[in-house]
Amino acid sequence: MTYFLIIAGFALLLFGGEAVVRGSVALAQRLGVSPLIVGLTIVGFGTSLPEMVVSVNAALVGSPGLAVGNVIGSNIANILLILGVAALIAPFAVHPAAVRRDALAMGIVTLAYVGLGMTGQIVFWHGIAMLVMLLVYIGYTVWHDNKTNDAAAELHREEAEEIGIIPLRTVSICGIIVTGLFAVVVGAEWLVTGATSLAMAFGVPEEVIGLTVVALGTSLPELATSIVAAYRGHSDVCVGNVLGSNVFNLFGITGVTALFVPLPFSDKIVDFDLWILLAATAILLPFLLSGRKLVRIGGMAFVGAYLCFVAAQFAGIGGTMP
């Protein structure tokens, strides 16, 4: 039953997340919302909806370690696994001007998150500060890109265009969104239940399950979007999705979850996983800011590094296993 809940939860999260994003993009287009805003908010942050629901659900049922692990593990997976797979499919380079602001924002947000994590706990007022800063960042980005129409603005528009248009009536589109939201909520409930049962059955700390099994499952929407974009030769869209998702994961998901319950960081998270997150971010930034091409060998190294990270979790490196 445990494995059924995990697999079914993954499937519902993937289906629900995709339905919500595509339906929301289509509805926004029907309402005349700018593709720039659609790309920056719905696409960039909407693919993080599974992580949001899973983390809040885990915190509310008394598994905050699962919530923290999910956020950190998802960001590591986004960088090493998703961009690594994209590079294996089609080596890519992005124009520094198109991603500089968002890449620097991801770096700053990651540093701030790691700093807060080092204190041992993220509490209510931290969550408020995170959400305020996230809203300021979104507001400034929309204002700036509408005003200048530069390479960064064009990238956000491409993110929206990559999703495509659903040729249905508005009522049907709303039905897709509601169905997707229901699937995400149910999938999150099943996944958290199955993951906590798995952790108890094997004596594995819940944060390890969050960093690996849950994080990989909730990153499926980003992985699916990036694979399709890479096959179409739009790897710059993959990068845009990852940057937006990572910023939202750290400040949006953590911020919202901290409003409900304090999020403790275990010694293992502080001593090992936060440093892996910081290292993965530091490795990615030079590629983005210099315009260097991420070739297949680099993509293989990224994917290999992610597999080593997962193996380390279950091998007890960093104090994960009793």
Give per-residue pLDDT as tens, 201-252: 878 888 888 899 888 887 877 777 777 777 777 767 778 878 888 999 999 9
| 66: three-class secondary structure by DSSP | helix
* Distance between CA atoms of residues 244 and 43, nearest Å: 8
Tell me whether residue 321 is in a domain.
no
Region of 128 on the Ramachandran plot (φ > 0 left; ψ -120 to 50 alpha; else beta): alpha
pLDDT-flagged residues of the chain (< 70): 31-46, 150-166, 235, 318-322
Tell me whether residue 261 is in a domain.
yes
Tell me whether residue 322 is in a domain.
no
Structure tokens at 61: 């049922």
Structure tokens at 1: 């039953």
Tell me whether residue 224 is in a domain.
yes
Quote the number of domains for the chain: 1
* Distance between CA atoms of residues 69 and 272, nearest Å: 12
Q: In sequence order, what are the residues at sequence separation of 6 or more whose Cβ sits closer than 8 angstroms to the Cβ of residue 125?
A: none
The answer to whether 56 and 40 have CB atoms below 8 angstroms apart is no
Place of tokens 């289509």: 26
Residue-range definition of the domain harbouring residue 88: 2-315
Tell me whether residue 182 is in a domain.
yes
Output the domain CATH number for residue 256. Answer: 1.20.1420.30
* pLDDT score at 322: 47
Tell me whether residue 320 is in a domain.
no
The answer to whether 180 and 17 have CB atoms below 8 angstroms apart is yes
| 262: three-class secondary structure by DSSP | coil
Tell me whether residue 194 is in a domain.
yes
Closest CA to 186 of 10, 37, 4: 10
Tell me whether residue 151 is in a domain.
yes
